[in-house]
Structure 1
Amino acid sequence: MKKNMKFIALLLIVSVVLSACTLKTKDESGESTTPSNNANVDQTPVDIELLGMSANEDDLNIVRDQLAKNGFNVKLNIQPDYGSFKTQEDAGNFDISLSSWTTVTGNPDYAVRSLFKTGGDYSILSDPEIDALIDEASTQTPEQYQDTYKRFEEALVFEKAYIAPLFNSIKSQAFNKEVLAADSVRISKSRSLPWEELEFTDTAKHGTDPLILQSTFPTLTSLDPIKGNDGSINIINTNLYVRLVNLTDDDKITSDGSLSLNHAIAEGNTEYYFILRDDINFAKVTDKKAVDSGERVGADDVIFSLNRAKDRNSVPDHRTYTLHEHINTVETVTDLAALDALKVSGSDETVRAALEKGLDVKISELVADKKDANNKEGKYQVVKLTTTTPFPQVLNYLAHQSAGIVSQKQVQAINTYDVENFDVNKDIPYGDQNTVTEGSQYNNTLYTSGPYILSHKNDYEATFYKNPAYMKGTEHEPRIENIKIKFIQDADSTLSALRSGEIHLFYGVSESKFDVVKGDSKLELQSIPSNAVSYLLFNTSNRPVAESADLRKAVLYSINQEEFITFYSGNKYKATSTLSPIVNTGLELKADAAKAKEHLNAYKASK
């Protein structure tokens, strides 16, 4: 009996010792942790809701399986289109959201500011450390900002786990080379496809046959360039509105094909000068056809457009103001001597000489009124933009669709509502997609400065016409009269439509379909490493992942990027953040099941 009592006492001692192992400890960062080999921690899988779109179902399934292996019970919330996806995301109906971002301006500040800075257009974060690092890097040269962006990635991904990177993608498109001339189809690392350069193999069809493209988004966020920055309108607004500068295919800034004939940066990197061309008028729609409005695109429109772009309160639901917050002033220059007195940054060349470079007629006079401009007589308009701090990256933002030039006269005539008291049920803003949608609300009031204008749309397709007053007689005049976009949400259906001739170009072919395209003799595939990164975004407001860095890190270290690369036959690349295609910080996320388990146990123990 005594032996039995001693045995029972020994069991009690062992039990007490084991139970002590479940006590929470603190790691060096102050976060709660629990040893991963603790057998007494609850082994019940942790519920987590993963939000995404049906177009990304393969990626969602890979993430689900990876999380399931590491102690999660994943609920998939798959939405059919971007509109319903955003509705769910905005409502906070997710723990993690499968997100993506393409740095369409080619500069690193764009890869982070809108997404992660407090108050950013698409940010759900509010972290002073993250904000400070974004602002610090924005004022630095490429040689300086690499270390700053490394510290940013360390904080964003590894210390706080606000995102979990999945992969960096290839940008690709396929087209019917029997229909389209191959040398007219451009693929750029960042810039959207320029429609004005596209040509049929049979040029006689330019005025008769429509070019047929495809999009997955039948609902357009807004045709006002500052009110949207997503896949539904980026390529559309890029072709509806001209900008002060463009990007080359390899992300260099150029005036080629833009509103400016040349541009120059003055000493100090806070003053930027643009000499404007005089051969673009705004297009408008009459009886569903494109006509010349008779109104020239000029300096007053540039000043109006950029001032509203930088002003958060210029329109309700402004989506792009953080891209332009470095703009201080925009004005017309009328003193020619001022251009002679200024030197180009890092050069002995004058700003005037830089602006005159390659012009058929040199500057004889600077005019304030766009109606007085006449480039053939040497009468030009010059716009001066001043930044709040030295900020050469401002040029990349001026190449973005949100810096598209709108008609001051037309936008002010339409936007007569009070911004503070805007009523979505009553007020109709400029660019509202309902005004171009066939039906009782159709009332197309667009004035577009770019090569095309949207005439009308329905749930199945959108019809665009060439701007009849866009750089006529130049190499940038649009070739094809009519472009249609078919709304096809399913990628497999889109590829079938391309192969059958229903559409002529598929913008954004999945890497898993490259072999199919290559095997079709009438198709040509174009691809280039892109600035697109896919990642998991954590809910930061109303779910457990918002409060627990351990829970977020358990997800982070469950992600195995190699499995995505294998699934896509090597046509994906590793990523650490949305910066990865632009800045090499040397940081890398590696899947670590032990770390995932450790952090998940720490989360459970803290509940």
Structure 2
Amino acid sequence: MKKFLSKAVLSATLLAGAIVPAAANLQTASAQDAAIPVTILAQSSSEQNANIVRDQLTKAGFQVDVSLQPDYASFNAQKDAGNYDLAISSWTTVTGNPDYAVRSLFISGGDYSIISNPEVDELIELAASQTSEEYVETYKQLEEVLVTENAYIAPLYTSLKAQAYNHEVLNGDSIRLSKSRAFAWEPVSYNDESLNTTRPLVLTQEMGDLTSLDPIKGNDGSINQLNTNMYVRLINLTDDDQITSENSLSHNFVIADGNLDYYFILRDDINFAKIEDGVAVDTGDLVSAEDVIFSLNRAKDPESVPDHRTYSLHEHISEVSVVEDIAELEAAVVSGSDQTVKEALEAGLETPIAELVAAEADVDNAAGNYQVVKLTATEPFPQVLNYLGHQSAGIVSEQQVSAINTYDVAAYDPNSDIAYGDQRAITEGSTYDNHLWASGPYILVDKNDYQANFVKNPAYRPDTDADANIEAVTVRFIGDASSSLSALRAGEVDLLYSLSEVNYPIVEGETSLTLQSIPSNGVAYMLFNTNTPGRPVSDSVNLRKAILYAINQEEINAAYQGLKLPAFTTLSPLVETGNTLVADPAKVEEFLTNYINE
């Protein structure tokens, strides 16, 4: 069925790039009467983006309504209900690898995907099996399917990553700014080191409603930084996204020839901590191979917990096991090398491997008794290591999680069952019963509506360079970015982890503050509603393309003082595909005409 829209109005509106006054139109219908309605869904924190896009689409002849939601929960409720045409979204590839930038968002059945396209699925899987030299062309094709052919998303920009801190209080040499990894707390120190044991480090984040302190049950801004600092992982990412064993559970890691088997030799100087009477105490329980196996098996199993949010990140894990025979390490060869796996795992160790042990009680690195964990992938997939650096791969205690999660997963009732990591267990009041065991440098003591309080894990690599410097960390929940900046300027907050480019001049004007910024892996984009039958944008690729080519990234960048970078998809900061989006009024007219004539 044809949709009524005056051709004269359409042509004049789109070619002129502005709404034509009714007096200029010789036909009776005005441009506004004929304009196609579009609803933009956004959180209040994205209000500037919503306003810019609204103006661009209005200029292109659409009738635009902005549905601004106060928080992530309200935004998600409207999104799940399908009450939008475009949802302003963002994604940061916190693992530093391109598979993470697309899998959860676009693969059929992905954690955040509303798309089901076999070609998209095939290209994602193909690229995952390829080396970095091979996958560029595959990801280029994937981008074209996502944007050029189907207009599933409309890119806005790539951001810089910035933070600001009070250099009169904090030692600048101890402050890290990582491209992907969440902010690490343990290196931070005060200029006056005597304050490390007496003064809490005060940070802030927008979200105070914590999804879960169980690392596999959340992957959002409410818990990423918290869980990253509360659970150790097999490996970490460097500040520039390289895989490292630094400050991880492993001394070394090795990829064996064939890219199917991955070996990790574990340290023996990290125990789990728990909270007793508001104080962090050493449980005496070593973070061991059995905890690694338990943690990664539940991470990859979508049925291991209700509302599992991160299983798709770990679906390439086939098996996790303990190696007990040194001969296996001596026979296996490092990928791309003649070196044996044993030699690579022993590199830099004070004591070489004398014996491989399975039992936690037999571990003694100083005597040469080590645990080695072997991870076997479902297929050659080198990017599996990047996922092991994600907070969802944090190592939890098999003993404690099993003791808390006694419910039937299929019959789980969130109103009566409190699962491991449920924020109710650490919220002040009648529900408080802190059951957390932390393997990382800090553990959460308690929270309320205003802040969460952490203390140092006394059993995390004590008396080493990795031992956390500051004894306590307070994370204040401040939902408004302007209020967070005001708190930093007033000295109420020591460091502001996330800072919008529009606020750079304010920070640079403060003599007590230092600004740090680098290109990030964060991309802002608009997700088209392709999942609500009967809604025009869901049913018509022509309409989506008309909206797509009305987006002008240069104008958006100008609104941010030229501090944004171009984007095509969430892959843009990671893979140079050469794809670009250029606003084109002629294409807007072409696809809108096609839509009207459908």
What TM-score results when the alignment is normalised by the length of structure 1?
0.93
Q: SS in structure 1 opposite 2:469?
A: coil
Query: In the alignment, is the contact (CA less than 8 A) between 1:309 and 1:402 conserved in 2?
Result: yes
2:145 aligned with 1:155, yes or no? yes
2:388 aligned with 1:402, yes or no? no
One of 440, 446, 449 as aligned partner of 2:436: 446
Deviation at 1:142, TM superposition (A): 1.2
Deviation at 1:41, TM superposition (A): 10
Corresponding residue number in structure 2 for 1:365: 355
2:556 aligned with 1:564, yes or no? yes
Q: SS in structure 2 opposite 1:581?
A: coil
Corresponding residue number in structure 2 for 1:598: 590
Deviation at 1:605, TM superposition (A): 3.1
Deviation at 1:289, TM superposition (A): 2.0
Deviation at 1:334, TM superposition (A): 0.8
State the AA in 2 paired with 1:363.
I
2:537 aligned with 1:573, yes or no? no
Q: Distance in 1 between matches of 2:166 and 2:222?
A: 23
Deviation at 1:531, TM superposition (A): 0.3
2:403 aligned with 1:413, yes or no? yes
Corresponding residue number in structure 2 for 1:48: 38
Corresponding residue number in structure 1 for 2:579: 587
Q: SS in structure 1 opposite 2:204?
A: strand
Q: Distance in 1 between matches of 2:592 and 2:224?
A: 39
Q: Distance in 2 between matches of 1:412 and 1:153?
A: 42
Corresponding residue number in structure 1 for 2:16: none
Corresponding residue number in structure 1 for 2:124: 134
State the AA in 2 paired with 1:491.
A
CA deviations 1:530-567 (Å, max 9, x no partner) are 00000000112223211110111111111100011111
> Equivalences for 1:250-289 in 2 at 5 Å?
250-289=240-279
Unaligned runs of 5+ in 2: 9-24
2:152 aligned with 1:175, yes or no? no
> Equivalences for 1:454-603 in 2 at 5 Å?
454-542=444-532, 543-603=535-595
* Stretch moving more, 495-504 or 287-296: 287-296
Corresponding residue number in structure 2 for 1:70: 60
Q: SS in structure 1 opposite 2:492?
A: coil
Corresponding residue number in structure 2 for 1:30: none
State the AA in 2 paired with 1:341.
A
State the AA in 2 paired with 1:292.
D
State the AA in 1 paired with 2:237.
L
Corresponding residue number in structure 1 for 2:217: 227
CA deviations 1:211-249 (Å, max 9, x no partner) are 000000010111111111111111111001000000001
State the AA in 1 paired with 2:427.
T
Q: Distance in 1 between matches of 2:28 and 2:337?
A: 70
Q: SS in structure 1 opposite 2:320?
A: strand
One of 146, 155, 174 as aligned partner of 1:165: 155
Query: In the alignment, is the contact (CA less than 8 A) between 1:71 and 1:597 conserved in 2?
Result: no
Radius of gyration: which is bigger? 1
Q: Distance in 1 between matches of 2:454 and 2:241?
A: 27
Q: Distance in 1 between matches of 2:80 and 2:323?
A: 43
Corresponding residue number in structure 1 for 2:20: none
Deviation at 1:38, TM superposition (A): 13
CA deviations 1:258-290 (Å, max 9, x no partner) are 000000111111000000000111111112221
Corresponding residue number in structure 1 for 2:369: 379
Q: SS in structure 2 opposite 1:337?
A: helix
Q: SS in structure 1 opposite 2:543?
A: helix
Q: Distance in 2 between matches of 1:523 and 1:131?
A: 46
CA deviations 1:493-538 (Å, max 9, x no partner) are 1111001100000011110011111111110000000000000001
Deviation at 1:568, TM superposition (A): 1.1
One of 314, 317, 320 as aligned partner of 1:330: 320
Distance 1:601 1:479, change over 3 A: same
Deviation at 1:39, TM superposition (A): 8.4
Query: In the alignment, is the contact (CA less than 8 A) between 1:245 and 1:399 conserved in 2?
Result: yes
Deviation at 1:604, TM superposition (A): 2.9
Q: SS in structure 2 opposite 1:445?
A: coil
Query: In the alignment, is the contact (CA less than 8 A) between 1:106 and 1:531 conserved in 2?
Result: yes
Distance 1:571 1:21, change over 3 A: closer
Q: SS in structure 1 opposite 2:361?
A: helix
Distance 1:513 1:21, change over 3 A: closer
Identity %: 60
One of 376, 383, 390 as aligned partner of 2:380: 390
Deviation at 1:426, TM superposition (A): 1.7
Distance 1:41 1:139, change over 3 A: farther
Distance 1:42 1:551, change over 3 A: farther
State the AA in 1 paired with 2:260.
T
> Equivalences for 1:418-433 in 2 at 5 Å?
418-433=408-423
CA deviations 1:435-466 (Å, max 9, x no partner) are 11112111111111000011111111110010
Deviation at 1:83, TM superposition (A): 2.1
State the AA in 2 paired with 1:569.
Q
State the AA in 2 paired with 1:600.
L
2:426 aligned with 1:436, yes or no? yes
Number of positions where the alignment pairs a residue of Structure 1 with one of Structure 2 = 574
2:310 aligned with 1:315, yes or no? no
Query: In the alignment, is the contact (CA less than 8 A) between 2:6 and 2:29 conserved in 1?
Result: no
State the AA in 2 paired with 1:284.
K
What is the Cα-based RMSD across aligned positions, in Å?
1.7
Corresponding residue number in structure 1 for 2:196: 206
Q: SS in structure 2 opposite 1:420?
A: helix
What TM-score results when the alignment is normalised by the length of structure 2?
0.94
Q: Distance in 2 between matches of 1:70 and 1:141?
A: 42
Q: Distance in 2 between matches of 1:581 and 1:557?
A: 21
Query: In the alignment, is the contact (CA less than 8 A) between 2:271 and 2:284 conserved in 1?
Result: yes
* Stretch moving more, 588-597 or 304-313: 588-597
Q: Distance in 1 between matches of 2:421 and 2:375?
A: 26
Q: Distance in 1 between matches of 2:112 and 2:543?
A: 23
Distance 1:201 1:141, change over 3 A: same
CA deviations 1:100-119 (Å, max 9, x no partner) are 00001110000000000001
Q: Distance in 1 between matches of 2:264 and 2:27?
A: 68
Q: Distance in 1 between matches of 2:573 and 2:205?
A: 25
Deviation at 1:40, TM superposition (A): 11
Corresponding residue number in structure 1 for 2:49: 59
State the AA in 1 paired with 2:252.
N
Corresponding residue number in structure 2 for 1:107: 97
Distance 1:182 1:38, change over 3 A: farther
Q: Distance in 2 between matches of 1:333 and 1:434?
A: 39
Query: In the alignment, is the contact (CA less than 8 A) between 1:283 and 1:448 conserved in 2?
Result: yes
Query: In the alignment, is the contact (CA less than 8 A) between 2:259 and 2:335 conserved in 1?
Result: yes
CA deviations 1:1-47 (Å, max 9, x no partner) are xxxxxxxxxxxxxxxxxx9999xxxxxxxxxxxxxx99899941111
Q: SS in structure 2 opposite 1:200?
A: coil
